[in-house]
Every structure is written in C-alpha cells, then in structure tokens.
Structure 1
Amino acid sequence: MPAAPAAGATMKKFLLFTRDNDIRLLFLGQEYFRALVAAFDAARNEILLETYIFADDETGQNISAALIRAKARGVAVRVITDGVGTGKLPYFDHWRENGLTHRVYNPHLFGKFGFSRTHRKLVVVDRERAFVGGINIIDDLNGGPGVKLPEPRWDFAVQCRGPIVEEVTAAFEHQWMRLTPGYLGHPFRLLRQGWRGRLGAHVGQAAFVARDNLTNRRAIEKTYLRALGRAREAVWLANPYFIPGRKLRSALTQAAQRGVAVHLLIGRKEFHLLDTAVPWLYAKLLDAGVRIAEYDQRQLHGKVAVVDDVWATVGSSNLDALSLFLNHEANVVILDDPLVTELRTHIRDAFEGARRIDPDRFGKRSAVRRLRQWLAYRAYRVVMKLLTFGRYD
C-alpha cells in the first residue's frame, strides 16, 4: 500500500491557506484575556467580538470595561452573544448607554435559526489582529452558578496577524448581517473554501474554517476527515465532548489500522450523560489500535488536534452532533509552523497525565455497565437525530 501524503499536502487543495501569518498560541483563559485587554486598549478604529458565553463575573467585567474604554476613545465596537449561552446580562444596558452595538444570536431556545447556537469565539481588532479558539468570556475557575473549579480550564486560542484576519472578519460580518432585521439573502461573500497561490514550506501558513447551516454545513468535519485520511505518523486529538458521526470514527480507526499512532484525549466529569455514553464508542476504536485516555485533572475544554507535527487545528468545534451538525463554529488550521509542535507538546503532556483506557480491562467490563453505556448512547443519538433533522449519523 503506498504511503499516504502528508496531512498538509491534501489540506492545501481544500481550504484557503494564506502565508505570512503570524500566529501565537494562547494557553488557558488568563493568557487569552490579557491578550484581549491589551488589544482592546491599543485599538484605534474597530473591535468585533462574537462569543457563546459572556459571563457576569470578574473576567466578563474586565473585558466589558475594556470595550467601553475603547468606545470612549472613538473605536467602533460591535458584539454578538448567544441567546442561550449568555442570556440577558446587566452589561447589555451599559453597552447601549455607552454606544456599543450589540446583537443576540437566536435569543430563545428555538427561534429564527431553529435550535442552533453561535458557539464561535471570534475577535477582530482594527482588521489587523484576530483571535479564534475555544475560550469563552468567563473566569477560568467559574464552573457555573455556585461552582468553583479547582484548576483553570484546559483550553486554547490563537492570536493571528496577516491575511487570515480577512477571513475571520468576513465570518463576523456575515453573522452580523444574518442578525439584521429583515435579512433574507447573502450580501457578503461566503467564506472561500478554495486555495490561493502556491505554498511551499513557509512559516505562517493558516486557514480559517467556519461551519453554518447554509453553505458550510460540513466544513469542519471535512477538514478533520482530510487530515486524518492523510496521516502517516501520529495523531494527537483532544476534545471534551466526543461523540462524532460514523465518518469521523471511521477515519480514526482507519488511520490506526494503517499504523498511525492515534491518541485520543477525552474530557470527563462535566456532563453525566456524556460520561456514560462516550465509552460505548471505545470498543471499535481500541480494537483498531487507537490509544484513548480520559482527562479529569481539570476541566478539559480545548478542541485541538495535531497530525504528523505538520497540521494543527484550534477552535470552538467539539466533535459531537451539536458542533458538527447544528451550531455555528469556527476553527483555524495551521501548517508547517512552530505552533504545531508547541500544541502537540501540550496535548502529549496532558495525555501522559490522564487515565489510559486499557483494552483488556475495558473488554471485561460488566454487562450492566455495557447496558448503561448503550442506553445512554442510544438516548443521545435519538435526541441529536431529532435536533439535527437526521443529519447526525
């Protein structure tokens, strides 16, 4: 069987990669929020921010204050929040009083956009700098009402400068227009899923990929499938909510069967249903040689992957039905950049500190445990089939 081409080689034909991007990895919320506040305080013309959660806590207050300071200097500030992820906050009135422009995506559980949410975390400053990742505007230790996490969430974002910022800006503008009263069409160009120019081994190759329920329905899933299909040496994948469809599961097992060292790091102890349902998928993955570890040292919230130390992705998309088939999501894909090995080190270190799933012991689990896992998985599958109108497979 001929060797598969490197992950990066195939992706260049699928996504719009640009070069000469300066991309910096941001690990944990504290580093991300410092970078955001610094960017907001340096802004001259415009700030665009889209997030799923904008919490009413110390972090949210600091970010809100930085936005208001920018507006007071004459910077145009536009904010999109999700109707369920954020809800109604005292900030909203304060923003309006200070001249910020704010729109809410799908204010109710079921609305104009069905059940979908905007789960994206995007920031653009002066159309020169962009932030994309999985980190919400919420304290690192805020685990929800009355819950304080013992350790900061394990999560990532990237700060980008260069041509990729244009794509992030276009995604925000398209979303902003969707939320315009009376919006019917697509006045802004759609994100281009093509390729620009010939890219050799050049630092700063990156592409922005977003999914929606219009024209880019499977964009992020296809990005993963192409990379996994071309993996030759190693895959490091970390995700908190791992219940992908059959295609992604098949891509992981096929990579392992080709001799690729596939490492799957899965978050635990956030949602009991998922903790019970996800292990039902382990058997076939383990049989194929996939190495699985469950991480519970802190809340794993990062949605990241590295293939062959060449290809990496950082973003908001979980590998579950909601992210892959319903919600609006956004990831950045990076090629041939030092950031790739930096991210791999983070995932590897977390994997080594996590609890490995032993194939033999897992295969000997009790019949009662197997039944609970099967029932939880089937319940999840039925609900997701309904919510995604049958698209979840």
Structure 2
Amino acid sequence: MEPEGILGWIITVLLVLLAATLLILYFRGSFRRKISYPLRNVPRVDEPSFFLAIAGFASSLPTHACPIGFFVEADEIYAARLQAIQSAQKTIHFETFYMTPGRRADDFAIALSERAQAGVAVQLVVDCHGASSMPKKYWKSLKAAGVEVHFFSPFSWKAPLDYNTRTHRKLLLIDGKVALIGGAGVSDEWDGKSDTGGTAPWRDFEVRYEGSILSTLEGVFMENWTTVGGIGDLSSEVFQPCPPKGHTAFVTMGTFSPENSALHILFQTSIQAARQRLWISSPYLVPDKHTQNVLVKASKAGVDVRILTMGVRNDKPYVYYTARELYGDLLKAGVKIYEYVPNMLHAKVVLVDDTWVSHGSTNMDERSFFLNDEMNVSVSDRHLAQQTENFLLDSFAKSALISLEDWQKRSFLEKFRGKFGLIFRQLL
C-alpha cells in the first residue's frame, strides 16, 4: 500500500475512535448543561448562617469533630495508620481507591491479618480499578486470615460504562472511635518510588479525628460496604453514642450525579464565602467553567487566592497539560498558581480565612464532582486551620510560582496536548 493510503487509513481510524468517544460521552450526558448555583449574600465561614446553609444546600451531614493529629507525607501517614490498626479491639473499616504491590501494602496486610486473627472484625472496600495491579494471592492471604474484602465496581458486561465510576474515598475507621482521613493510597509511590522523575516523598497529609463524627463516617462506610455485597453492622459497637463535643464539622459525600453535585456546591459556596484568603491544594486542577468564574470573582474582590497543584513531576502528564491550559483566566485575574517541584503533589484541601478547612478525597475537577464516589470532611477549627496554613506555606516555598508570561510561553506541543485533553475533561 502506498504511503498516502496508509496515512489515510490512520486518519480514518483516528476519526472513528474520536467519533466513538464523543458518542459515548454524549450518551453519558457529559455535554449536558452544568448547574452554576448562582448565590448572593453568602455569609462568612464563621457565621452561624454559613453552617446552616452548608448543611442543607450542600447536602452535608452536620456533626462535631475533634482533630487530634496532623500527619504529613508518607512516613508519618503510614505510621499513624499502622498504629491505629494495631490498637483496634473490635472493628477496622477501610475504604480506598489506590493500592500497588510493595512494602506499604505488605505492612498493611500484616497489621490487618494480625488484628483479624485476634478476633477484630476487619472489613475492606477496595476500588477494583485502583487496585488492579495487586496480585490475587495478596487478597487470598488477607481473606485466609479472616479479613473481609469486597471490590467496588468491577467490570460488568451488563453495564460496561459503570466501570468509569470509581470510589475515590480514603477513610480508615477504628472501633467506631478513631478516624483517619486523607488522600494517600496504599503504595510505595508516596515514598517517592514512582516514575514521576522525583525521589522526594509525594506531598500529602492526613488528619486523625475523634468525636461524634465517627458515627457519621461509619454510615458513609456502611453505604458502600453494603453496596458491594457486605453485611452492614448497625450495632452500638459501631455506631456509638457520643456527646457533641469538639468543633462544628460536616461530612459531604459525592456519588455519580451528572447534574447536581453536593461537593460542587460545597466548593462553590466555600470559595464565595472567603473574605481574606482562599488557599487551595488540588493535584488534578481541571475546574469547570462555573468554578473558574467564582475563583476569578474572589480574586478580583481582593481575596488572597492561591492554588497549589502538581508540577512537571507528576503521575498523570495528560492531566497536567490539560490543567495548564486553564491557567490563563485565573492568572489574569491575579490568582497565584504554584506548581510543586520536589515530586508529586497529592494533597486535596481548601482553607478559607482563619477557621474553615475542607479536605478529603475530592479534586477540583469534573470527575470528582460528578463521577466518583468522594468524601470531604469540613471543620471550623482555628488550630486545624493553622496546621493547614503551615502545611501550605511550606508547600508554596517548595513550589514554582507560575507567571502569566511563563504560561504564555508554553510550546505549541504543550498547547496542543492541553486543548486535546480538554475534550475529555470529564474522564480525566
């Protein structure tokens, strides 16, 4: 076949693939109108009316929480998890998205197996896609030790498109008394052992909670545990009565919802409530147009808007270039964008003024808002806000501040990759 004919076939195949992808997106509703949630008279985050609005408007479960630990990067995070697991006397409930073979997964299995053999009820919800690299013998070993394991959303020919909906939540619950909430998976990648081009630990953090928030979090776990085939335990050992002590807190969940999203509302409202500062960390920064608009509006109103995101050392280059394509309007409005330099930035948090912290598994992108099962914990607590501020200040210092001039000088290839990625932004 002549070269011209081969080229023609290649172009035809690419066009067919593109058309098929767009057709799938169309039938999934990816091109439907996104709700903008226009707001007025948004109260400050320290006003009682803000808490009342969040509870109803953002479908958030009100509770109280006592943050009693703040752990940064792999060594601290995994040590805190293992200590919590080893202390368990009755129940261990864990839900996660990402697991890979290695030392961290092995340490995790040893600790869970020991507790299961000691009579502790150990239950795991693991995302089928996120843990696809784990060997079957790993799960067989856990099950042989008495650990109950169920997988979220395995591929099914009965509903093949459902495979695109994942659980991205990360929560570890011990005895109905202690919770660890963060963004880290169970993987040596968080130690810097990955192909990102960096050797430093991935930048992430985790918060330990006690208090009445535990009953709410146990309910969140039970929802997906029963969905994947587990038997829910609603006993008082799991859902323990606890007086409302500590700080005002909310638990906001996200599930597949192509139009209305509680987490989208939470982010939109939190951004518009900012008066002095709005500091955000999101590795996969592909905000929808409405979120971009409120960020621009906040910056133009004099709010100190800073966004920390992943830099050239990252685990998803296609998302990185897609995200960079959206920097322009934000930079022109005065938003400061920092790209983390040492290695992958994976922390997901919103800090508003001096009291409001919202963190968990949610990225500022359409996949987190509308496709995945996600969860954020939001707390009104000056001490947690101060710890978060210190974490972000240290992260900013290790990052490159992107200027509008830098962004405008990106290469043709980078621009092409970014614009092409935006076509598939709902899937990133």
TM-score range, shorter chain: 0.7 to 0.9
Task: Pick which of 103-112 and 298-307 moved more.
Answer: 103-112
Normalised TM-score (structure 1): 0.85
Q: Distance in 2 between matches of 1:152 and 1:325?
A: 30
Letter in 2 for 1:266: T
Cα distance in 1 between the residues matched to 2:413 and 2:262: 33
- AA partner of residue 376 (structure 1): R
Residue 299 of structure 1 aligns to a residue in which SS?
A: coil
Instruction: State how far apart, in whole Å, the 1-side matches of 2:337 and 2:257 are.
Output: 34
- State the Cα deviation string for residues 171-229 of structure 1 (Å, max 9, x = none): 11000111129x9xx999xxxxxxxx9x9xx9522222121126995122211111111
| Counterpart residue identity of residue 107, structure 1 | P
Contact 1:311-1:336 at 8 Å conserved across structures? yes
Q: Mean alpha-carbon deviation: is it higher for 36-45 or for 167-176?
A: 36-45
Work out whether residues 128 and 152 of structure 2, in 8 Å CA contact, stay in contact via their aligned partners in 1: yes
Determine the C-alpha separation between the residues in 1 that align with 2:267 and 2:252. Answer: 11
The answer to whether residue 134 in structure 2 is matched with residue 93 in structure 1 is no
Instruction: Report which structure shows greater RCO (CA 8 Å, sep ≥6).
Output: 1
Structure 2 length normalisation: TM-score?
0.79
Whole-Å Cα distance in 2 between the matches of residues 111 and 38 of structure 1?
Answer: 39
Counterpart Cα distance in 2 of 1:217 and 1:70: 41
Q: CA deviation at 1:4?
A: 5.8
Q: Do structure 1's residue 258 and structure 2's residue 312 form an aligned pair?
A: no
Q: Name the residue aligned to 2:151.
A: 104
Tell me what 1:332 maps to: 377
Structure 1 residues 372-391: aligned runs within 5 Å = 372-385=413-426, 387=427
Q: How many residues align?
A: 367
**Residues 161-180 of structure 1: pairs in structure 2 closer than 5 A:** 161-180=210-229
- Say if 1:216 and 1:335 are closer, same or farther in 2 by CA, change over 3 A: farther
Matches within 5 A, 1:300-339: 300-339=345-384
Counterparts of 2:196 and 2:395 in 1: how far apart (Å)?
23
Equivalent position of 2:239 in the other structure: none
Alpha-carbon separation, structure 2, partners of 1:372 and 1:306: 34
Structure 1 window deviating more from structure 2 (59-68 vs 135-144): it is 135-144
Counterpart in 2 of 1:279? 324
> How far 1:170 sits from its partner (Å)?
0.6
2:270 maps to which of 227, 230, 249: 227
> What is the match of residue 79 of structure 1?
124
Amino acid at match of 1:93: K
Is the contact made by 2:198 and 2:342 (CA closer than 8 Å) also made in structure 1? no
Q: Identify unmatched segments of 5+ residues in structure 1.
A: 189-196, 389-393
Secondary structure in 2 matching 1:107: coil
2:259–2:370 Cα contact (<8 Å) kept: no
Point out the more displaced range, 30-39 or 255-264: 30-39
Greater Rg, structure 1 or structure 2?
A: 2
Residue 60 (structure 2) pairs with residue 13 (structure 1): no
Q: CA deviation at 1:71?
A: 0.7
Tell me the residue number matched to 2:36. none
- Amino acid corresponding to residue 172 of structure 2 in structure 1: V
Residue in structure 1 matched with residue 25 of structure 2 by the alignment = none
- Aligned-residue Cα RMSD (Å) equals 2.9
> C-alpha offsets along residues 19-53 of structure 1, whole Å, 9 cap, x if unaligned?
35344222112212112211111111111111112
* Aligned positions of 1:1-393 closer than 5 A: 5-9=43-47, 10-15=50-55, 16-19=61-64, 21-87=66-132, 88-89=134-135, 90-108=137-155, 111=160, 113-139=162-188, 140-141=190-191, 143-144=193-194, 149-180=198-229, 204-213=247-256, 218-268=261-311, 269-270=313-314, 271-363=316-408, 365=409, 369=411, 371-385=412-426, 387=427
Unaligned runs of 5+ in 2: 1-39, 56-60, 235-242
- The answer as to whether partners of 2:196 and 2:343 remain within 8 angstroms in 1 is no
Alpha-carbon distance change, 92 to 348 in structure 1, aligned in 2, over 3 angstroms: same
Aligned with 1:207: secondary structure? strand
Q: Percent identity?
A: 25
Q: Is the 8 A contact 1:157 1:314 kept in 2?
A: no
Q: Tell me the SS of whatever aligns to 2:64.
A: coil
Give the match's secondary structure for 1:298.
coil
